[in-house]
Structure 1
Amino acid sequence: MTALEMPQRLPLWQRVLFAVPLFGWMARDAANAQPEDLYYTAAAIFSMWGCAILLFGLPGLYIPALLMVPLMFLILVLISRG
């Protein structure tokens, strides 16, 4: 046992994700979350979706929802496996 605890090195996928400027900052906040940070992260995601709707119109509404379909299928498979 040493007096100095060295922090664990993050896996490669987390280092790459956290290096992306806008999304990495939000992902780092979500990974090291305090209870109130999760509300701020959800508000930021919905705000970005709203900005996409204002900027691109209906495709800004539909495309993120369509991209969530494979994620929901994955969640359903994981839930059914127990």
Structure 2
Amino acid sequence: MTDMTGAAAPRHWFYAIPLLGWIARDIAHGDEDNIYYALVILLTALVLIFKTWGLAGITMVCLAAVPLVFLMLILITLGK
């Protein structure tokens, strides 16, 4: 039998996100190899988007990334 009296690891809300959750959990527990697999998957998705919809598809991806870039700029200027 296992001892269940020990403190459980903190459960974060982003662990429940299907694709990003396992990457975040692996990075948090010291296994950084899976981030390279995620980058390959992202690059493959971008290539397939470009092959399917052309420049309009890449433009939509860039437009979706604008709020993330603004958030990163705000976080950088706040010093966090």
Q: Percent identity?
A: 22
Match of 1:69? 66
Q: Corresponding residue for 1:45?
A: 42
Aligned length: 72
Q: Tell me how far apart the structure 1 counterparts of residues 10 and 49 of structure 2 sit (CA, whole Å).
A: 35
Greater helix content: 1
Kept in 1, the 8 Å contact 2:23–2:34? The answer is: yes
**Cα deviation, residue 28, structure 1:** 2.4
RMSD of aligned C-alpha atoms? 2.1
Deviations 1:38-71 (A, max 9, x none): 0110110111111111111111111111211111
Structure 1 runs of 4+ with >2 Å offset:
5-15
- Give the TM-score taking structure 2 as reference length: 0.72
Distance 1:31 1:50, change over 3 A: same
Matched, 1:78 2:69: no
TM-score by length of 1: 0.70
Residues 1-82 of structure 1 aligned to structure 2 (within 5 Å): 3-4=3-4, 5=6, 7=8, 10=11, 14-15=15-16, 17=17, 24=18, 26-33=19-26, 34-82=31-79
